């Protein structure tokens, strides 16, 4: 075979290559080409067809030679249909004629799934490849094609022939289901080995289910989902955690045994669509036996009724004590986690100031156990009522096809401003500026500060309102369960969170030994009460800072005016106790004046988008994430918010450190941040895709295109380092 000098040969048509080879009698000095190997020795190709449905190819590449990844082509022979070849990523180079390319050196493996027509006994195909010699003489070979003719495994006839499959199924049924499912070497027909079902659980949520007999498994990364006749509609699967498996064909893979349920979110314009034609392609194996060819099933899903058609019965919903998806948690475990999460909330800086109000009230009750129990029960009633209302609201939105993130009430600027004013009012009350009487109406500040039943109850309400942004480490799993579980189970989880939040105060009120540990009343109690006012002021300052990030300086100015007017209202209210009707009317006028800036605050638009991205940080968008993943770039996605205390702690400990920036540079990863401080539908969809009840959410996407890996809500540097190192491989 003649060798063609220069890389230009790679771009000439086959006829031009032949003519040029005939004309070039001396393309290079003899001493330059004598050392070159024939193409079949430079790239030794071996094939293995012993596994049904998968052809394995291996090239042994001689030193100083390389193969182009993009110049490999595969074509099946008579009766043979080839699937998409599975090739590893090559070394990225820039070729002066071919542009950006990927190349292989030393050796490369390829796996090609295939199917054969009935009666086919030989696996025939053509394999084309092209490579170059990278040192002097720098010569590229013309594209070379090898014809392969290999015997098929004996089981191929059974897999290819429907008649044989039916006969095999009948024989297995005579042996009994247990023997048929576990005996290696006696494979079931594909329809029996991999039962596929699909169900619509709402207009934008599908549930796919594969059921396999014992001893069979499904590949996660060999599964693709497509929609027919649904332009602009995309599918976003949320794969559950599988089993790590070392596969001789595909290397390190994730597989599922027995049964796997896959929640799939549907995004795009569904107007006018009543059905979705879903085509699922997947591949699996018998453990210790054969691997099946690529299987494709098509189902017609009716969106309105949720029925799955095309011959598959609609699957049952998950049982009440287990929810499919990324978190497989029993109801008991979710309740215990919720109880622990509620306890931890008492230590959060947004809850501790509110709890201090009730501590003071217990101290002031002295040794009166009945009063202490009344405080505890009414406070608990307020907490549980609030959690129940919050849970029912979220479940109602979920049933309507919407999603509400945990803590997302602080995305509403008006509510943030009102809470800041409430915290200021409570602080002024504890500082002694104003004393609320028993006849005062149901305003937030007075209700939280009163010593009567209403004060106890609404202090519990206020604790829940400010507690929800502080997502504690133990709350994530329980809340994710609640956001996906049946209604009754989800409501129980929310109530368990409330019990955990109220438990310390319940213990003080009902356990005499704890009550006796409390100090005796005295003058020090007033000092303590005034001291505990300052965490209230700090909480108000934090809420103003959140508002500044949501709506800018104008919003901060308005809420500060409202807080000054509120302080004036409370001051004059205290002075008007002994005055006439005119003085009390002035209190009403000041109170109404306080509402004016809050009304204007609700209409302040978000600040215009300005390029304020942090150095080395990419703002989250679904399109940008898709571009980075398509380019083979590992990505660390951080979903955060300014009102999220856990997010800020993680940033201080890990994400805003030089070590993390060095890690990004070392692994070639991109740090992408989504800011959920304000309402952002794209981020809400991302949270829903990963069944996250709120922020923080951290997902690491590997360079090989595999699904993202969700990290814990509380980060450590070692955890992030391990995830990014694995993602960069």
CATH of the domain at 719: 3.40.30.10
Instruction: State whether 84 and 225 are in the same domain.
Output: no
Q: Is the pLDDT of residue 700 over 90?
A: yes
Residue in the structure block whose two tokens are 């190819």: 57
CA angle in degrees (0–180, nearest 5) for 104-107-111: 90
On whether both 123 and 246 belong to a single domain, the answer is no
> Within a 10 A sphere around the Cβ of 680, how many other Cβ atoms?
17
pLDDT, residue 607, reads 63
pLDDT digits (tens, 9 = 90+) for 535-585: 778 878 878 887 887 777 878 888 899 889 888 888 888 877 777 788 778
135 burial (CB, 10 Å; 0-12 / 13-18 / 19+) is exposed
Q: 428 — phi, psi (to 5°)?
A: -65, -35
Domain count, the chain: 4
Characterize 691-713 residue by residue with b for buried, 16 or more Cβ atoms within 10 angstroms of its Cβ, and e for exposed: bbbbbbbbbbbbbeebbbebbeb
Q: Rounded to whole angstroms, how far apart are CA atoms 696 and 701?
A: 16
| Number of neighbouring beta carbons within 10 Å of residue 664 | 17
Tokens for 134, please give them. 């990278």
Q: How confident is the model at residue 67 (pLDDT cuts 50, 70, 90)?
A: very high
Helix runs in 111-249, H state only: 156-160, 162-175, 177-182, 190-193
Boundaries of domain holding 278? 183-302
pLDDT in tens, 330-375: 677 778 877 877 777 766 555 555 665 555 565 555 556 777 788 7
Banded model confidence at residue 673, pLDDT cuts 50, 70, 90: very high
In-domain check, residue 364: yes
In terms of pLDDT, which residue wins out, 79 or 312?
79
pLDDT at site 128: 93
- Of the candidates 2, 4, 23, 25, the one whose C-alpha atom is nearest the C-alpha of residue 137 is 4
Radius of gyration of the chain (CA): 34
Q: Quick check: is 352 in a domain?
A: yes
Comparison of pLDDT for 516 and 296, the residue scoring more: 296
Secondary structure class of 207 (helix, strand, coil): strand
Cβ atoms of residues 406 and 397 within 8 Å: no
Residue 41 and residue 623: Cα distance in Å, rounded?
45
224 domain-assigned: yes
As a whole number of angstroms, the distance between CA 693 and CA 479 comes to 6
Shared domain for 266 and 123, answered yes or no, is: no
377 and 524 in a single domain? The answer is yes
Whether 446 maps to a domain, the answer reads: yes
State whether 406 and 502 are in the same domain.
yes
Is there a domain that residue 235 lies in?
A: yes
Cα–Cα distance, 39 to 572 (Å, whole number): 96
Name the DSSP class of 383: H
DSSP run (H or E) holding 464 = helix 453-467
Question: Please, which residues bridge with residue 114 across strands?
Answer: 82
Cα angle 7-13-16, degrees, rounded to a multiple of 5: 90
Instruction: Read off the tokens for 308.
Output: 């799955």
220 occurs within a structural domain = yes
Q: Would residue 163 count as lying in a domain?
A: no
Mean per-residue pLDDT, 638-642: 87
Q: What is the pLDDT of residues 214-254, one digit of tens each?
A: 888 899 888 989 887 777 788 888 888 888 887 766 678 88
- Provide the pLDDT for residue 348: 59
44: confidence class by pLDDT, cuts 50, 70, 90: very high
Q: How many CA atoms lie within 13 A of 670 on its CB side?
A: 20
Confidence of residue 134 (pLDDT cuts 50, 70, 90): confident
Same domain, 624 and 675: yes
In sequence order, what DSSP letters do the residues of 591-620 get, joined into one string?
A: HHHHHHHHHHHTTPPPPPP---PPTTEEE-
Instruction: Tell whether 522 and 642 lie within a shared domain.
Output: no
How far is residue 404's CA from residue 486's CA, in Å, rounded to a whole number? Answer: 16
The secondary structure of 238-254 as a DSSP string is -PPP-EEEEETTTEEEE
Among 446, 454, 442, residue whose Cα is nearest residue 382? 454
Clarify whether residues 199 and 84 are in a common domain: no
Domain identity same for 290 and 192: yes
pLDDT tens sequence across 445-471 = 444 445 567 777 877 777 776 665 554
Please tell me what DSSP assigns to residue 86: B
pLDDT at 438: 33
CA triplet 314, 228, 397: central angle to 5 degrees? Answer: 55
Pairwise CA distance, residues 588 & 566, whole Å: 11
Instruction: Answer whether residue 511 is part of any domain.
Output: yes
Looking at residue 289, which CATH number applies to its domain? 2.60.40.1250
Pair 714, 646: CB distance under 8 Å: yes
Question: Which residue among 283, 302, 321 closes a domain?
Answer: 302
This prediction has a pTM of: 0.37
pLDDT at position 338:
78
486 lies in the same domain as 416:
yes
8 pLDDT band (50/70/90 cuts)?
very low
- Do 214 and 146 reside in the same domain of the chain? no
* Cis ω before 493 (30° cut-off from 0): no
Looking at mean pLDDT, say which of 67-81, 117-131, 250-264 comes out highest: 67-81
* Res. 413 pLDDT band, cuts 50 70 90: confident
Q: Which two tokens stand for residue 642?
A: 């300014």
Same domain, 439 and 352: yes
Residue 75, beta-bridge partner list: 126
């Amino acid at each position: 075979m003649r060798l063609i000098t220069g890389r230009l040969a790679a771009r000439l048509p086959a006829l031009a290559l032949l003519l040029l080879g005939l004309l070039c009698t001396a393309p290079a000095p003899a001493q330059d080409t004598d050392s070159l190997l024939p193409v079949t020795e430079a790239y030794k190709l071996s094939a293995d067809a012993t596994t049904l449905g998968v052809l394995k190819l291996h090239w042994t590449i001689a030193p100083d030679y390389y193969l182009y990844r993009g110049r490999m082509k595969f074509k099946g022979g008579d009766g043979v249909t080839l699937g998409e070849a599975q090739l590893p990523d090559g070394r990225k180079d820039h070729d002066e004629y071919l542009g950006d390319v990927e190349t292989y050196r030393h050796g490369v493996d390829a796996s090609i799934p295939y199917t054969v027509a009935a009666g086919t006994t030989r696996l025939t195909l053509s394999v084309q490849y092209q490579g170059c010699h990278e040192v002097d003489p720098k010569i590229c070979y013309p594209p070379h094609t090898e014809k392969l003719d290999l015997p098929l495994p004996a089981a191929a006839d059974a897999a290819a022939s429907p008649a044989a499959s039916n006969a095999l199924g009948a024989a297995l049924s005579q042996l009994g289901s247990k023997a048929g499912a576990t005996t290696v070497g006696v494979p079931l027909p594909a329809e029996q080995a991999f039962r596929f079902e699909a169900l619509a659980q709402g207009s934008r949520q599908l549930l796919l289910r594969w059921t396999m007999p014992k001893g069979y498994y499904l590949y996660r990364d060999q599964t693709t989902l497509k929609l027919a006749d649904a332009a602009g509609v995309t599918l976003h699967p949320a794969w559950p955690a599988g089993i790590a498996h070392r596969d001789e064909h595909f290397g390190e893979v994730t597989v599922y045994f027995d049964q796997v349920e896959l929640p799939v979110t549907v995004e795009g314009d569904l107007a006018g669509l009543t059905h979705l034609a879903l085509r699922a392609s997947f591949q699996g194996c018998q453990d210790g036996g054969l691997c099946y060819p690529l299987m494709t099933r098509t189902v017609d899903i009716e969106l309105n009724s949720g029925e799955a058609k095309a011959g598959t019965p609609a699957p049952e919903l998950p049982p009440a004590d287990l929810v499919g998806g990324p978190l497989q948690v029993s109801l008991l475990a979710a309740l215990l986690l919720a109880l622990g999460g509620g306890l931890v909330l008492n230590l959060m800086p947004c809850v501790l100031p509110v709890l201090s109000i009730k501590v003071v009230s217990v101290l002031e009750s002295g040794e009166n156990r009945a009063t202490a129990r009344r405080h505890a029960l009414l406070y608990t009633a307020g907490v549980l009522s609030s959690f129940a209302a919050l849970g029912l609201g979220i479940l109602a939105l979920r049933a309507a096809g919407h999603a509400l993130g945990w803590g997302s009430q602080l995305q509403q600027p008006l509510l943030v401003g009102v809470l800041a004013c409430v915290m200021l009012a409570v602080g002024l009350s504890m500082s002694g500026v104003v004393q609320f009487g028993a006849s005062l109406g149901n305003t937030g500040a007075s209700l939280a500060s009163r010593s009567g039943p209403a004060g106890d109850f609404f202090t519990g309400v206020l604790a829940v309102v400010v507690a929800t942004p502080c997502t504690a480490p133990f709350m994530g799993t329980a809340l994710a369960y609640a956001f996906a579980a049946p209604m009754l189970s989800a409501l129980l989880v929310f109530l368990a969170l409330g019990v955990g939040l109220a438990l310390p105060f319940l213990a003080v009120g009902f356990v005499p030994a704890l009550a006796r540990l409390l100090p005796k009343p005295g003058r020090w109690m007033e000092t303590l009460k005034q001291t505990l006012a300052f965490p209230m002021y700090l909480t108000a300052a934090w809420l103003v800072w959140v508002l500044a990030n949501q709506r800018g300086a104008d919003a901060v100015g308005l809420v500060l005016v409202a807080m000054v007017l509120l302080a004036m209202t409370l001051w004059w209210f205290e002075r008007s106790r002994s005055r006439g009707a005119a003085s009390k009317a002035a209190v009403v006028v000041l109170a109404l004046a306080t509402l004016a800036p809050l009304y204007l605050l609700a209409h302040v638009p978000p600040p215009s988008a300005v390029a304020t991205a942090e150095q080395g940080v990419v703002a989250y968008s679904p399109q940008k994430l898709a571009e980075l993943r398509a380019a083979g770039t590992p990505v660390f996605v951080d979903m955060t918010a300014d009102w999220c205390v856990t997010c800020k702690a993680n940033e201080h400990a890990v994400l805003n450190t030089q070590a993390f920036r060095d890690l990004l540079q070392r692994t070639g990863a991109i740090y992408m941040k989504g800011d959920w401080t304000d309402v952002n539908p794209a981020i809400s969809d991302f949270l829903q895709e990963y069944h996250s009840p709120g922020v923080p959410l951290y997902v690491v996407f590997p360079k090989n295109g595999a699904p993202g890996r969700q990290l814990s809500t509380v980060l450590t540097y070692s955890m992030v380092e391990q995830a990014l190192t694995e993602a960069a491989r």
